[in-house]
Amino acid sequence: MKHDVLLDYELTTARDGFVVRALLTLEGQAPADAARAPLNLALVLDRSGSMGGEKIAAAREAATFLLRRLAPEDAVALIAYDDVVDTVGSVGNGTTVADLARMVALIAPGGSTNLSGGWLRGRELVAAAKRDQRVNRVILLTDGQANAGIIDREQLTGLAATAKRNGVTTTTIGFGADYDEQLLRAMADAGGGNPYYIEQPDQAPGVFEEEIEGLLSLAAQNVSVEIRPGADARFVRVWHDYPVSVANGASRVEIGDIYGREPKSILIEFLVPSIATNGRVDIGEVVIDAHVLTAEGGVDHQRVTMPIGAPLSPEGNAEPAVRHEMLLVRAAGAREEALRREQMGDAAGAADALRRMASELALGGTPTTLEQAADLRIVAEKIEARSFDAADAKYMAQRAYNTHRAKATYEDKLRRGR
């Protein structure tokens, strides 16, 4: 696994020290097809009444796409649920991918949403076929609220966390404007998978493609970064929104899985509380811990320590890549602030926050910042016109999440006007 650090620093506002930002990039090397980890999946599809029409058709198309990407060594089970949970079929025991694809085509919408029952069945089937060298994952899709079976958010999140500890991860896919995004995001975060949002039915195949392409390019699992401030600095914050825990003066950032098709970025800020530096400043070190997939199909536990230090001068050092990443993360924060203000009834404040951020993004001058600026302005107009709805809120929250978790390839599939 490749790793690199870029440093950006400037004098504090009081000019009595330095603000130092370190952009750590982690890049995985995906194993060749012959050496990739086999997949062990449960595809859990909501067939409740609200999934009728274009939604169920898109879900069937996306599921069929996923099935066609499987190799002979992969295992997959298909579960459909409304108030009743059915195991539609699984590859193996005489059932082929073609057989399962035909079964997918027969799934029809029915009753209420027993989300927990569908997920539990998926977890059970994945656990039964679990192997240490496999990627063991439940992929849960729903367009609604859990209204049958277990409906308590904390309990469902706890179940996903327990499954992860036992080697089964969870990805969630929310469809349309009515699903519980807080529940699905919490389950995916606790479950070590990915949360997705399908705004329009025609986005469904792209979302399933994003998930399967990621699994097929899996390069490292259980990746974490421990941040240890040096003798000359204090740790301030991680700009990206990964889970962080603190122990013995160090902050541990849980990155999760890394895929060969998409590097991960972690923007770390330190404070050096003095300008009386003498040569190289000891800013700190990061310790990267990961289970890396090898070219032979095995798993290698790697632990790498990277020192962070540099001579600092009052002139500062503006690193373009660091400034660009910080701008994007701040834009994600502006989206979240606007959502909070809009929900509190402060439409003017929400729109103003988005427009101010859009102006800064436009100055960035890159295709990414210009697209973000245009998007924020459009959303600001919708908020002011009182046409901002639940779908807009989910879109805003998902785009903020994508930036916080460095999910650039999914951004291309999610953004409007693409």
| Per-residue pLDDT of the chain in tens (418 residues, 90 and over written 9) | 789 999 999 998 888 889 999 999 998 887 676 667 788 999 998 888 877 788 888 888 888 888 888 888 888 899 988 888 888 888 766 667 788 888 888 888 777 778 888 899 999 999 998 877 788 999 998 876 667 777 788 888 899 999 998 889 999 988 888 788 888 899 999 898 999 988 887 788 888 888 888 888 888 888 999 999 998 899 999 999 998 998 888 899 999 888 887 889 999 999 999 877 667 889 999 999 998 877 776 788 889 999 999 898 888 899 999 999 999 999 999 999 999 999 999 999 999 999 999 999 999 889 999 999 999 999 999 999 999 998 899 999 999 999 998 888 887 777 766 5
Q: Are residues 405 and 357 in the same domain?
A: yes
Closest CA relative to residue 43, chosen from 136, 125, 139, 167: 139
Q: Are residues 157 and 247 in the same domain?
A: no
Q: Are residues 344 and 281 in the same domain?
A: no
- Looking at this protein, which amino acid is placed at residue 233? A
Phi, psi of 124 (to 5 degrees): -60, -45
Q: Are residues 274 and 226 in the same domain?
A: yes
Q: Are 41 and 139 in contact (CB under 8 A)?
A: yes
Q: Are 154 and 162 in contact (CB under 8 A)?
A: no
CATH number of 294's domain: 2.60.40.3670
Q: Are residues 196 and 288 in the same domain?
A: no
Burial of 317 (0-12, 13-18, 19+ CB in 10 A): middle
- Which of residues 269, 302, 318 is at a domain's end? 318
Query: In terms of residue numbers, what domain contains 227?
Result: 2-32+222-318
CATH number of 167's domain: 3.40.50.410
Q: Are 295 and 32 in contact (CB under 8 A)?
A: yes
* Residue 48: partners with Cβ closer than 8 Å, 6 or more residues away: 81, 82, 83, 109, 110, 111, 112, 113, 142, 143, 144
What is the per-residue pLDDT for 318? 93
Q: Are residues 55 and 189 in the same domain?
A: yes
Structure tokens belonging to residue 313 = 């001068």
Q: Are residues 91 and 210 in the same domain?
A: yes
Q: Are residues 380 and 410 in the same domain?
A: yes
Q: Are residues 165 and 270 in the same domain?
A: no
- Helix 320-343 crosses helix 367-384 at what angle (to 10 degrees)? 10
SS (H, E, C) 259-292: ECCECEEEEEEEEECCCCCCCEEEEEEEEEEEEE
Q: Are residues 58 and 107 in the same domain?
A: yes
Q: How far apart are CA 373 and CA 272, in angstroms?
A: 33
What is the per-residue pLDDT for 381? 94
**Helix, strand, coil abundance in the chain, percent, nearest 5:** 40, 30, 30
What is the per-residue pLDDT for 34? 61
- Which of residues 287, 318, 349 is at a domain's end? 318
- Which of residues 300, 318, 336 is at a domain's end? 318
**Number of domains, the chain:** 3
Q: Are residues 188 and 243 in the same domain?
A: no
Structure tokens belonging to residue 356 = 């101010």
Q: Are residues 358 and 243 in the same domain?
A: no
* Residue 320: partners with Cβ closer than 8 Å, 6 or more residues away: none
